[in-house]
C-alpha cells in the first residue's frame, strides 16, 4: 500500500534563515552579503559546528584569529562581531549574556584626510563628465559616496536649492544644500536622464528598485520618473534579491577609480578618496565661520562629538601653539 501522505517540508537552512531575517529588517544588500560571509566563515572556522552548540569561547577564538592571523583592521573585526550578534539575537533568538561581554576592537583615533581648497580645485579640474559632476556633488554637499550614487530624481529640489539625502547612515534622512554652480549642469544632465528613462519606458524596462517593499504598497511607483536614479548604470543587471532585470545606479567603484586617477595626476601626496571630499566639505565650512551645529546637521552626525574632529584644522600648527623654537 503506497503512502500518499505529504512529505514533511524541510526547514530552511541556517544561511537562508539569516538572509530572510535580514530582508525582513530591510538591511541593505551590502550588509546582507557581508553578514552572510562572516557567519559562513565563523561556521567553517569551527569545522561546520552549528552556532547553537557554540558560545563565547568560539566567538572570541574566531575574532582573535581574524586579528592575529588574518591581521584585519579593527573595523573589520567589529563588522564580523556585528554579524554574529545578529545571528544569535535575530535568527537563533538566543540572547545570551556573554554576547554583551565580548569586547569590540578599539578603533584607532585618526584625523581625517583633508584637502586644501586649492587641492580640491586641482582634483576637480582633472575630472569631467559624469564622474566630474558626482565628485563636485560630494564636495559641494558633503554627501557620502553611496548617498550620491543612490540619489533619486525626486530628492533634488532646484527651487529650494537643496538635496534630501534619504536613508543615510543610521537609516536617517537629512537635507543638504544644492550648490548654485551645479544647478545648470545638473539640469542638463537630468534632461539627458529623462530621455534615457523615456527610452527604457518605451521598451517596458523603466522599473527601478524601491526600498522598504514600497513596490508592494505603490505598485506603479517603480516606473515613475521621480524614483529613477539620477546617476544610472550604462546597462541593465539582475537584482540579486528579486531576480528582476533593471537599470541600477552607476557602480561606485568607477567613481573611486576616477578619483584615484585624478589624485595621481595632480601629484597630491595624500591618501585621498571620494570620502575625502566630505571631510574637506566639513573642514572648509568651519574655516569659513559656520557653527559646528550647522555642519553637524549637514553631515547627518548623531553626536556633535563626531563633527568636532574637524575642528583640528582651525588650529594652525600643533593645536594653535607657537613652537618655542620660533619664539627665539
Q: Which residues are marked as active site?
A: 144, 169, 275, 278, 301, 310
Residue 95 in contact with residue 47, Cβ under 8 Å?
no
Residue 18 in contact with residue 39, Cβ under 8 Å?
yes
Distance CA 319, CA 232 (A): 44
Distance CA 27, CA 34 (A): 11
Please report the DSSP string for 257-285 in residue order.
Answer: HHHHHHHHHHT--S---HHHHHHHHHHHH
Contact residues for 208 (Cβ-Cβ < 8 A; gap 6+): 222, 223, 227, 228, 229, 246, 247, 248
Distance CA 185, CA 112 (A): 30
Distance CA 82, CA 68 (A): 19
Residue keyed to cell 536649492: 161
Which of 101, 94, 18, 106 minimizes the C-alpha distance to 67?
A: 106
The answer to whether the Cα torsion of 176, 178, 180, 181 is positive or negative is: positive
Residue 29 in contact with residue 241, Cβ under 8 Å?
yes
Number of continuous H segments (helices) and E segments (strands) in the chain: 14, 5
Contact residues for 194 (Cβ-Cβ < 8 A; gap 6+): 225
Neighbour order of strands in the sheet with 174-177: 156-157, 162-165, 174-177
Amino acid at each position: 500500500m503506497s503512502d500518499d501522505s505529504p512529505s514533511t517540508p524541510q526547514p530552511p537552512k541556517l544561511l537562508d534563515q539569516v538572509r530572510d531575517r535580514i530582508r525582513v529588517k530591510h538591511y541593505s544588500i551590502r550588509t546582507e552579503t557581508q553578514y552572510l560571509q562572516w557567519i559562513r566563515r565563523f561556521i567553517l572556522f569551527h569545522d561546520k559546528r552549528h552556532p547553537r552548540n557554540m558560545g563565547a569561547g568560539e566567538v572570541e577564538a574566531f575574532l582573535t584569529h581574524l586579528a592575529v592571523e588574518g591581521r584585519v583592521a579593527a573595523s573589520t573585526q567589529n563588522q564580523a562581531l556585528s554579524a554574529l550578534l545578529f545571528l544569535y539575537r535575530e535568527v537563533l533568538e538566543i540572547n545570551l549574556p556573554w554576547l554583551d561581554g565580548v569586547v569590540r576592537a578599539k578603533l584607532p583615533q585618526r584625523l581625517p584626510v583633508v584637502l586644501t581648497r586649492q587641492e580640491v580645485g586641482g582634483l576637480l579640474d582633472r575630472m569631467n563628465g559624469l564622474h566630474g559632476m558626482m565628485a563636485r556633488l560630494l564636495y559641494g554637499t558633503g554627501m557620502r559616496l553611496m548617498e550620491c550614487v543612490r540619489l533619486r530624481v525626486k530628492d533634488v529640489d532646484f527651487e529650494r536649492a537643496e538635496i534630501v539625502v534619504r536613508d543615510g547612515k543610521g537609516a536617517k534622512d537629512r537635507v543638504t544644500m544644492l550648490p548654485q554652480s551645479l544647478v545648470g549642469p545638473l539640469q542638463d544632465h537630468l534632461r539627458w536622464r529623462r530621455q534615457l528613462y523615456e527610452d527604457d519606458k518605451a521598451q517596458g524596462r523603466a522599473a527601478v528598485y524601491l526600498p522598504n517593499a514600497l513596490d508592494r504598497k505603490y505598485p506603479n511607483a517603480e516606473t515613475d520618473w521621480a524614483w529613477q536614479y539620477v546617476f544610472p548604470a550604462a546597462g541593465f543587471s539582475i537584482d540579486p534579491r528579486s531576480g528582476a532585470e533593471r537599470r541600477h545606479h552607476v557602480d561606485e567603484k568607477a567613481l573611486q577609480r576616477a578619483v584615484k586617477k585624478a589624485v595621481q595626476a595632480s601629484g597630491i601626496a595624500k591618501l585621498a578618496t571620494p570620502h575625502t571630499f566630505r571631510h574637506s566639505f566639513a573642514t572648509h565650512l568651519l574655516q569659513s565661520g559656520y557653527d559646528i551645529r550647522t555642519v553637524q546637521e549637514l553631515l547627518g552626525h548623531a553626536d556633535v562629538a563626531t563633527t568636532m574632529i574637524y575642528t583640528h584644522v582651525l588650529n594652525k600648527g600643533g593645536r594653535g601653539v607657537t613652537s618655542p623654537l620660533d619664539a627665539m
